[in-house]
Amino acid sequence: KNQVEQSPQSLIILEGKNCTLQCNYTVSPFSNLRWYKQDTGRGPVSLTIMTFSENTKSNGRYTATLDADTKQSSLHITASQLSDSASYICVVSAGSNSGYALNFGKGTSLLVTP
Amino acid sequence: AAGVIQSPRHLIKEKRETATLKCYPIPRHDTVYWYQQGPGQDPQFLISFYEKMQSDKGSIPDRFSAQQFSDYHSELNMSSLELGDSALYFCASSLLVAGDLYEQYFGPGTRLTVT
């Protein structure tokens, strides 16, 4: 069972609008949570990374929040651009050794239209 | 800035053949990870190496093996290929950011098609 659940599965918004993507996880023990942007057929690119002690982190127009108590995270995109069209993947890491693996959500497919 | 390099970018093989995928991590990165992403699926962790030693093992089939060499590049060897092995294979390398927090950087992937 996937331990990282994302919603919505897909989203269509107009250019310039804001949107918020959701992520719920059950991965334990929790180490950190990341949001990645993945263009079709390309490797994921990291947007933000947060440990349990952080509850918000921004990267340009991207702002991620984390509630470690409820095990929820969100990614807010402001003033969307056509180039934001991609899959946004929530990734949760467990453990703290150097070889730990990432638990991927299935992603939210975002389409920004003119 | 240098990124993770994977080769080949595309590979077509027939069932029961073997394939070797290569990954060249970002210089000074000491950990390499391999992921398999099937069509419409999220990436699944296969295996990782830290300082040339296997550090973690995920859902890697017994038909697959991997190693990390002295120059830190890694190879994923796949034998007796099956149609279900058709996927995008990502390699990532990581760098210690702070404390025990590692940031993983992904390569562009190798698209393997088994016919």
CB contact under 8 A, A106 and B42: yes
CB contact under 8 A, A99 and B111: no
Mean pLDDT, residues B14-35 = 93
Examine the pLDDT at B3 and tell me if it is beyond 50: yes
Per-residue pLDDT reduced to its tens digit, A61-95: 999 999 989 999 999 999 999 999 999 999 888 76
A80 Cβ contact partners less than 8 Å away, ≥ 6 residues apart: A13, A14, A15, A16, A17, A18, A19, A61, A110, A112
A44 touches chain B (CB under 8 A): yes
Per-residue pLDDT reduced to its tens digit, B37-85: 888 787 888 998 888 888 878 889 999 999 999 999 999 999 999 999 9
More confident residue, A88 or A27: A88
Min Cα separation B63/chain A (Å): 21
Q: How far apart are CA A78 and CA A91, in angstroms?
A: 21
Structure tokens at B19: 């394939």
More confident residue, A110 or A3: A110
